[in-house]
Structure 1
Amino acid sequence: MDLGINGLRVLVTAGANGIGRAIVDAFLEEGARVFTCDVDGASLESLPPGVGRSLTDVGERDQVAAMMEAAVADLGGLDVLVNNAGIAGPTGRIEDIAPEEWDRCLTVCLTSQFNCARLAVPYLRANDNASIVNLSSAAGKFGFALRSPYAAAKWGVIGFTKSLAIELGEAGIRVNAILPGLVAGDRQRRVLEAKAQQQGTSFADMEARAFSFVSMKEYVTARQLADQILFLSSHRGRTISGQAISIDGDTRMLS
């Protein structure tokens, strides 16, 4: 299937590892030009030649400004912004969560998307196939006990996405959110291990409990997320905007 992605100029935040790296690789396979940023300098160095890169904390506006300038210069413009950066945040009861941990989680998972979008939109307006994809989570549609900062941020991403879709529709810029569920990888393992420790149970029991809320009873892969983002960024996804698209094996609730 020709997605018409060849030559698209794409900025992916936090693209050196995990889901972000899968997104970068997927766009490269389709012939897109890609720039990415990350806080992990060593992993940035492992990216393939030709991928623009910047050591950037997307929670810091001055660093985002410098990164965006470098990305646009490297790519010669911008067609697609993928706001992938995020952190798991603290695991614990609300009375035990330090305010600075709350602040950091919302900064990286939500405010960073504002930091990037506000600077990207003027460049996106210049194109006839422009899009933004924001990473939310299955936690963006259910309450998530012991993960309140993360859930609050990911709910916020959906509101941000739907608002931007309305605001930018007249400019032909579509905006969508992706809601991953249990994604295979080290980050998901760390989240489940933290919850297991908090609740005094084993990792295996916590993993089984997590799967009990997922009808497909399996992990989502980073590549499955990347493939959906490719479609939303392609000419075949030109009429899809303002959507919060679950890629989570039909998660019914979280606890």
Structure 2
Amino acid sequence: MESQGGEKQAEDAGLVVVTGGATSVGRATALAFAEGGRRVFVADRSEEAIAALSHPAITARCVDVMDEGAVASFFAEVRGCGPVEVLVNTVGLGGPRGLAEDLGYQEFMETIAGSAGATFLCCREVIPQMKARGRGAIINFSSSSTRTGLPGRTAYIAAKGALEAMTRNLARELGPFGVRINAILPGAIDNPRLDALIRAGAAERGENPEAFERHLLRFISMRTRIAVEDLAATVLFLASPAARHITGQLLGVDGNAEWEE
């Protein structure tokens, strides 16, 4: 039987915000919350993707979450509709490819800003209200590549590493107030971006895409792509009362990524 406290929390459940919520994992997550009866606000910079996202429980806005002013305006609108109880940050820039000694400082820092910086701006907007309410859940998206390393992607790995460190430190800051924060580390996400990477890699190696995909997945123990629905289900779990004692964790949802090149 649910306690009276649990019933009260269900009655006044706050809003859900998903950044990067009009495509891929963000879209699947926003829809999963909406179909579960939650009101969802989506921030995404793709006007085309926003136009294609249609659900009566979802309000989508075109927002560049690297822009401090745009983030503040978006969350001011959200707070006008109610308190934010769940924040999901899926945004992140892929960044430049190449050896570290060939990277420009500006593009390196832009990559940091596109992951850790954007996530910080969004977290900062919801933290005061979550602390005041004595509850809330923040779920950030990193990458399994921070564990394996990925030569030629130093800016990306540094950006996601910073996001993970911020997640764990905020867990210490926010834990006494009943606010939880975790990060999900996906593997090879089954989406159009991965399809494009496979086609490009296959062309570069002179292989067919099926052969290159096998090459790409050979160091994933389960030899599998990760469905966006699986990642959305993990977000819903981390945001739920079932995960009420889980915070400061970096959770791999990757089929066990052993190595990467």
- TM-score, structure 1 as length reference: 0.91
Distance in 2 (CA, whole Å) between partners of 1:99 and 1:208 is 35
Tell me, in whole angstroms, the C-alpha distance in 2 between the residues paired with 1:9 and 1:204: 42
Q: CA deviation at 1:99?
A: 3.4
SS of residue paired to 1:79: strand
Q: Check conservation: 1:91, 1:195, Cα contact below 8 A.
A: no
Instruction: Give CA-to-partner distance per residue, 1:110-138, whole Å, 9 cap, x none.
Output: 11011111111011113344110010110
Task: List gaps (5 residues or longer) in structure 2.
Answer: none
Count of residue pairs the alignment pairs up? 252
Which sits farther off after the overlay, 119-128 or 87-96?
87-96
Which residue, 233, 241, 247 being the options, matches 1:241? 247
Separation of aligned partners in 1, 2:197 and 2:118: 21
Aligned partners of 1:140 and 1:156 also within 8 Å: no
Contact 1:180–1:248 (Cα < 8 Å) also in 2: yes
On the 8 A contact 1:139/1:155 being kept in 2, the answer is no
**2:38, 2:57 within 8 Å by CA — same for their partners in 1?**
no
C-alpha RMSD of matched pairs (Å): 2.1
Q: 2:43 matched to which residue of 1?
A: 37
In structure 1, the residue matched to 2:175 is 169
Name the structure 1 match of 2:116: 110
Of 54, 60, 68, which aligns to 1:53?
60
Partner of 1:222 in structure 2? 228
List per-residue Cα deviations over 1:25-45 (Å, max 9, x = no partner): 111121111001110012212
Does the Cα contact within 8 Å between 1:5 and 1:233 map onto a contact in 2? no
Whether the 8 Å CA contact 2:14–2:83 is kept in 1: the answer is: no
- Pick closer, same or farther for the CA change 1:186–1:98 going to 2, 3 Å: farther
* 1:139 paired residue among 125, 139, 145: 145
Q: Secondary structure at the match of 1:219?
A: coil
Question: Any idea what the Cα deviations from partners look like across 1:179-222, whole Å, max 9, x if unmatched?
Answer: 0000101112334455566x645454542222111000110001
- Between 13-22 and 203-212, the greater mean CA deviation after superposition: 203-212
The question of 1:160 aligning with 2:166 is answered yes
User: Which is worse superposed, 162-171 or 39-48?
Assistant: 39-48
Distance 1:130 1:161, change over 3 A: same
Note closer, same or farther for the CA distance 1:43–1:56 as it changes in structure 2 (3 Å cut): same
Pick the aligned partner of 2:76 from 45, 51, 69: 69
Report which structure shows greater RCO (CA 8 Å, sep ≥6).
1
Determine what percentage of the aligned residue pairs are the same residue: 33
2:18 is matched with 12
- Give 1:120's aligned residue: 126
